[in-house]
Structure 1
Amino acid sequence: MTFRKKLAAALAGLGLCAGLAACDRTDERVDRLEDIGRGVMDQLGGGDGTGGGANRMESAPVTARALAGKIMESSPIQAGPSAQQKFVVGSIVAKPRSLPEPASPVRSMDAPTMADYDAYVAGEDSDALIVVPSDDEMEALEETEAGTRTVEEAPQRLQQAMRSRRTITIDPKSRDLSQSGSMVAREVLKDSRPALKSAPQRTLSLPETMERAAPAPAPPEMVELQAPLPAKSAERRLMMRQDAMSAQVNAESRMIETAQRYGLAANIQRSRSGQMVIEIGSRATKPTRYEGDGAAEGVPWIVSDDDRECPENPTEAQLQADPQLATVCVIQELKNSGDFEYVEKDWVYHHQFVRRPKNEGPVTASSITPNDPLWQLQWNFLGQGSGEGKAPGGAGFVDFWTSQATQGSDEVVVAVVDTGLEMSHPDIKDSPNLAPGWDMVTDIGMANDGDSRDSDPNDPGDECPEDFVFENTYHGTHVAGTVGASVTNNANGVAGGAWNVKIVPVRALGKCGGRLSDINDAIRWAGGLIPEYDELGNEIWNDNPADIINLSIGIFRFCPASMQDAIDEVVERGVVVVAAAGNDKVSTQFYAPGGCNNVLSVAAGDARGIMAPYSNYGAEVDLMAPGGDLTRDDNGDGRPDGILSTKTAHDCIDPVTNESIEDCFYAYEQGTSMAAPHVSAALALIKSKRPELQGTSLSDVLLAALTPRSQEQCSGPCVQYPGAEPVEGSPDLCKRPCGSGLLNLSNINLDD
């Protein structure tokens, strides 16, 4: 069949000829779409529009076509979490109760008045770091310069911890715990901030009791006037009210009192979003250092959760000797105070590749000699169906690119909160699709790049053998490549789902995972709600606030309250949050963020359009999208039915010569991590065509076009999914609800 006939048949199948008048214009429309479609085929296949991309592949450099990925031997599926739940010892995430909602400058500061300045807090005041040294540290301070107290003589943590934020040091000896229920009197040792080029130095005076007034805002003459922000940016920037600041200061006093009760050092990060992070004990002494089991003094920073409880009336000596117990007890005491909306451990999240422990079974290579372009190995972007150019489990991207005459718009922004991005990747480094991102990983060791938070979202690697990560995964690069971070139409490697959208990489996961508190900040920064800070203390906002945020991350537990809080805030401002459902073969309700409210939770399907065996399932799942299965080759192309995308990999192959290549830049992976970016890319394409859509109005268009799945396409053997409901009449099969259907862009027509 000729290209023109194929295209005309496809258009007829989509119902574009509706009514006699429309049928009269069919030839004209086919002519127009033929040119578009041929261009799409040329860009993807590098041929003449007839699918002849093999010549392009053969003429491309080996680095532009070599790939990694072998068909894996199937192994028994075990239900339950693939990684233990871990948390950061001494780090606690909390939010004061009844905290007034922040306001945006669009609503509150269009025409600033003195009353406005009285009602709102300057940004640098709302994001301060409160430091309470331990008694030993105070003694060291008092011995310097004949008793003169200076922050400069304090331990290294006062210099490193959130070094670009305002730091206020409190005298830990200024306490009176004899009166039941009283707050702690606080003496300010030093209020330090980086000297800004254009702003005068101001100090924050903290009154002696918790009933003090909130810090005074900058008077009008000190406020630096800036050019108006685009509405999209301004609407998502929050300002902290004075009463909200007072609530945080009161919460700080409760935290300080609790830490001092047991002689623990503490630092408290205050944020205008309302989230607060308190780090206590040894954790507070070195807040920007990650240590594993070989940590100094035998204290690991990241440990598995053992559900321990705080004993009745713990002693100061007990908690100082056991940082994990101290974490549990401080959380319990803060909860019991009634002053907080939530108080929880700083959980460690992981990306959602399907991990395979080294001893799980052999991996065998498939004997293949493909000679067509790499995009032809990307079954996930094909239209659903059988035959040439189709895949039963495809998501219909090619049909959308052709029929809707768009491959994306740089006015649409997708933020990828993940492990960062390989900025030197040959298919990414010159990509016009990249926008400035941020590195949100606080711990220096976990960050693995020699420093804490900064403006560089580059992924330096995340090898972590204790979590079965035996080499760097470059997970965020693979995810972002599927969305569209890689350059399409450059004769190299792979295609992305949305070629021309803007990608904002936000690094929140590093070596051995990422902290809940960092991820929450990453979500808010990606949505344009809070700033970060450069080394001079200048606020750095995301000037490309996300329309869509992709979270291909997860932890096996119910959605933490602080994460739900962050998600709710960005969703309220029109952002669609897309989350991987998880790879633990259990109900997604036990998983976060896939089980959180206000997210599009995405399960994974294989090339047949059947739910992948590793995928989570349940009522919380909204839809299924291609996630791949490396143990199958149902399309018969000689390659595993994984998702092919960008990432540096090893043990590769040249698909033209079938020769082994040590390193390459493209690889197959599988997981709900791979399914989620398909949905993010699809949403970005729809918004590119209909920019007025946002939030639920955007996601509803996508959800209305899903291909329904039968019960059989989502069920599985009950022995592999304990706890799942058996299928009526088939007691050996159990239901695995997979949402409303399979992602299918072929069903979407936005021309009307």
Structure 2
Amino acid sequence: MDYSVFLQYLNGHINTSGTSGRYIIRFPHPAQYNECLRQLHRLRRKLPALKRVRTSSLLRAFLCPLGLPDKVTRNRFGVLVEEDSIVSVHSASPGKERSAEIPWGVRRIDAPEAWSLSTGSQIRIGVIDTGVDYSHPDLRYSLARGINLLNRVSLPHDDNGHGTHISGTIAASGGSQGIIGVAPRSLIYPVKAFDHNGSAYVSDIILGIDWCVRNHMHIVNMSFGMKNKSVSLQNIIRKAHEAGIIVVASSGNDKKSRSVDYPARYSQTISVGATGKNGRIAPFSNHGSYIDIYAPGEKIYSCWLGGGHREMSGTSMATSHVSGAIALLLSLRPGMTPDQVKRRIRRNARALPANSPLAKAGTGEAHASRLLRGKTKKLTSS
């Protein structure tokens, strides 16, 4: 099929100033995408605006800044068009700095008791976030190169702090002068999709997931969310799930009982709510039937920019504890499927206090040592 008319249309309507809307254009069939991609590469020299078109082979999609998307319809070109939405990280403002100590959340999920069995060795975790502080001493042995989707020629340096905090909870190995994360020998691959304000477009997250699948991540940590559903985001998460990748997502900080943010709402993720030091659901956390597991998320002490440490609260912080616990499990028992991991982490959770009215029956708090030892008893309070 000749896609020259379609590509000429894109070239004529791409706004290179960055002030226009952004859209995700999906192709229903692989052959259509492959042929249009081939023609895109051929025409880029002749039609220079096409250099602004990014592509996702996993989703079979073009990601474009377009001024007049209403004319790109299925009836005209045989493609599916979705507006590119903005997504935000799930955390509150950072708290004060404190002297270094073992974070209470790592102790709460009983990670130190699990380290005799596993420390997360050889497990690759894609953290789609604001990047990471590569100079942080606690993360010196925990970081791979990753990718910066906002600036492909640069390392995914963190200019916000959120991604560094998440990475510290998962995999810090700072020794006596720093902090220890849940899985200190796992390897973080930072995927910078979020800017200095903690905001990203769905298209950047799609490219991040695409990269994680192609680079064989075991786990993808998604400490962010949005209110509206994205079919494109759901489709690529499903593809990651089919590829055997465990996707862990934060539920949101809106105190809701009947809903959680996307992408945590998709069934192919492990959705995470937050608890406080008292073991109860944190006041800010979403809760109820959409939550798969809870984990510490209130006043969590972890790595920060400039080699320091900060407290932060949010379901983002809870999600990083769960990703770390899953890394411990996969290092000990490689080859487990995402569905097997979800069932196991739920069955081996610590029961929430009996007087926790916000909790869904049977949903508990992550417990790393039980998870590794494979206990499957009915939840009891502790």
Contact between 1:127 and 1:269, CA under 8 Å: does it hold in 2? Answer: no
Q: How does 1:286-685 map to 2 (within 5 A)?
A: 326-327=68-69, 329-330=70-71, 334=73, 339-340=78-79, 342-355=80-93, 374-375=101-102, 378-382=103-107, 394-402=108-116, 404=117, 406-409=118-121, 411-428=122-139, 431-441=140-150, 452-454=151-153, 456-459=155-158, 461=159, 473-484=160-171, 486-488=172-174, 490-512=175-197, 513-528=199-214, 542=215, 545-557=216-228, 559-587=229-257, 589=259, 591-628=261-298, 642-648=299-305, 665-685=308-328
Matched with 2:46 is 190
Matched with 1:279 is 65
Q: Does the residue aligned with 1:503 lie in a helix, a strand or coil?
A: strand
Cα distance between partner residues in 2 of 1:453 and 1:693 = 33
Say if 1:738 and 1:454 are closer, same or farther in 2 by CA, change over 3 A.
farther
Matched with 2:26 is 95
Q: How does 1:50-129 map to 2 (within 5 A)?
A: 89-99=20-30, 126=37
Say if 1:609 and 1:491 are closer, same or farther in 2 by CA, change over 3 A.
same
Cα distance between partner residues in 1 of 2:193 and 2:258 = 22
Contact between 1:416 and 1:504, CA under 8 Å: does it hold in 2? Answer: yes
Say if 1:487 and 1:510 are closer, same or farther in 2 by CA, change over 3 A.
same
Q: Does the residue aligned with 1:91 lie in a helix, a strand or coil?
A: strand
Residues 273-323 of structure 1: per-residue CA shift (max 9 Å, x gap): 302223223xxxxxxxxxxxxxxxxxxxxxxxxxxxxxxxxxxxxxxxxxx
Say if 1:609 and 1:338 are closer, same or farther in 2 by CA, change over 3 A.
farther
Q: Following TM superposition, by how much is the alpha carbon of 1:504 offset from its aligned partner in structure 2, in angstroms?
A: 0.8
Q: How does 1:261-276 map to 2 (within 5 A)?
A: 268-273=53-58, 274-276=60-62
Contact between 1:396 and 1:745, CA under 8 Å: does it hold in 2? Answer: yes
Cα distance between partner residues in 2 of 1:677 and 1:88 = 34
Contact between 2:93 and 2:312, CA under 8 Å: does it hold in 1? Answer: no
Matched with 1:320 is none
Cα distance between partner residues in 2 of 1:101 and 1:713 = 52
Q: Does the residue aligned with 1:549 lie in a helix, a strand or coil?
A: strand
Residues 531-551 of structure 1: per-residue CA shift (max 9 Å, x gap): xxxxxxxxxxx3xx2100000
Matched with 1:174 is none
How much is the aligned-residue C-alpha RMSD, in angstroms?
3.2
Contact between 2:130 and 2:192, CA under 8 Å: does it hold in 1? Answer: yes
Cα distance between partner residues in 1 of 2:157 and 2:262 = 25
**Number of equivalences:** 356
Match of 1:694 among 329, 337, 346: 337
Cα distance between partner residues in 1 of 2:106 and 2:368 = 9
Cα distance between partner residues in 1 of 2:362 and 2:265 = 13
Q: Following TM superposition, by how much is the alpha carbon of 1:566 offset from its aligned partner in structure 2, in angstroms?
A: 1.2
Contact between 2:249 and 2:264, CA under 8 Å: does it hold in 1? Answer: yes
Cα distance between partner residues in 1 of 2:143 and 2:136 = 13
Which amino acid in structure 2 is aligned with residue 548 of structure 1?
Answer: I
Cα distance between partner residues in 2 of 1:505 and 1:738 = 35
Q: Following TM superposition, by how much is the alpha carbon of 1:604 offset from its aligned partner in structure 2, in angstroms?
A: 0.6
Q: Following TM superposition, by how much is the alpha carbon of 1:344 offset from its aligned partner in structure 2, in angstroms?
A: 1.7
Q: Following TM superposition, by how much is the alpha carbon of 1:456 offset from its aligned partner in structure 2, in angstroms?
A: 1.1
Q: Does the residue aligned with 2:152 lie in a helix, a strand or coil?
A: coil
Contact between 2:276 and 2:297, CA under 8 Å: does it hold in 1? Answer: yes
Which amino acid in structure 2 is aligned with residue 553 of structure 1?
Answer: F
Q: How does 1:140-219 map to 2 (within 5 A)?
A: 166=41, 168-169=43-44, 190=46
TM-score (structure 1 length as normaliser): 0.44
Cα distance between partner residues in 2 of 1:611 and 1:100 = 48
Say if 1:355 and 1:343 are closer, same or farther in 2 by CA, change over 3 A.
farther
Cα distance between partner residues in 2 of 1:709 and 1:681 = 20
Say if 1:419 and 1:708 are closer, same or farther in 2 by CA, change over 3 A.
same
Which amino acid in structure 1 is aligned with residue 212 of structure 2?
Answer: A
Q: Following TM superposition, by how much is the alpha carbon of 1:127 offset from its aligned partner in structure 2, in angstroms?
A: 7.2
Cα distance between partner residues in 2 of 1:676 and 1:455 = 27
Q: Following TM superposition, by how much is the alpha carbon of 1:667 offset from its aligned partner in structure 2, in angstroms?
A: 0.7
Contact between 2:252 and 2:260, CA under 8 Å: does it hold in 1? Answer: no
Q: Following TM superposition, by how much is the alpha carbon of 1:267 offset from its aligned partner in structure 2, in angstroms?
A: 5.7
Q: Following TM superposition, by how much is the alpha carbon of 1:751 offset from its aligned partner in structure 2, in angstroms?
A: 8.4
Q: Does the residue aligned with 1:679 lie in a helix, a strand or coil?
A: helix
Cα distance between partner residues in 2 of 1:440 and 1:556 = 23
Matched with 1:740 is 363
Say if 1:506 and 1:589 are closer, same or farther in 2 by CA, change over 3 A.
same
Residues 239-287 of structure 1: per-residue CA shift (max 9 Å, x gap): xxxxxxxxxxxxxxxxxxxxxxxxx999644442302223223xxxxxx
Gapped runs of 5+ residues in structure 2? 1-17, 376-382
Q: Following TM superposition, by how much is the alpha carbon of 1:436 offset from its aligned partner in structure 2, in angstroms?
A: 1.9
* Larger Rg, first or second structure (1 or 2): 1
Q: Following TM superposition, by how much is the alpha carbon of 1:477 offset from its aligned partner in structure 2, in angstroms?
A: 0.3
Cα distance between partner residues in 1 of 2:363 and 2:191 = 30
Cα distance between partner residues in 2 of 1:587 and 1:334 = 37
Residues 53-104 of structure 1: per-residue CA shift (max 9 Å, x gap): xxxxxxxxxxxxxxxxxxxxxxxxxxxxxxxxxx9842111212344699xx
Which amino acid in structure 2 is aligned with residue 594 of structure 1?
Answer: A
Which amino acid in structure 1 is aligned with residue 225 of structure 2?
Answer: G
Residues 113-153 of structure 1: per-residue CA shift (max 9 Å, x gap): xxxxxxx87xxx8477x5xxxxxxxxxxxxxxxxxxxxxxx
Q: Following TM superposition, by how much is the alpha carbon of 1:698 offset from its aligned partner in structure 2, in angstroms?
A: 2.8
Which amino acid in structure 1 is aligned with residue 315 of structure 2?
Answer: T
Cα distance between partner residues in 2 of 1:739 and 1:336 = 48
TM-score (structure 2 length as normaliser): 0.83
Q: Following TM superposition, by how much is the alpha carbon of 1:355 offset from its aligned partner in structure 2, in angstroms?
A: 4.4
Which amino acid in structure 1 is aligned with residue 243 of structure 2?
Answer: R
Say if 1:590 and 1:707 are closer, same or farther in 2 by CA, change over 3 A.
closer
Residues 417-456 of structure 1: per-residue CA shift (max 9 Å, x gap): 100011122322xx22222200012xxxxxxxxxx32351
Q: Does the residue aligned with 1:350 lie in a helix, a strand or coil?
A: strand
Q: Following TM superposition, by how much is the alpha carbon of 1:749 offset from its aligned partner in structure 2, in angstroms?
A: 4.6
State, as a whole percentage, how many aligned pairs show the same letter.
27
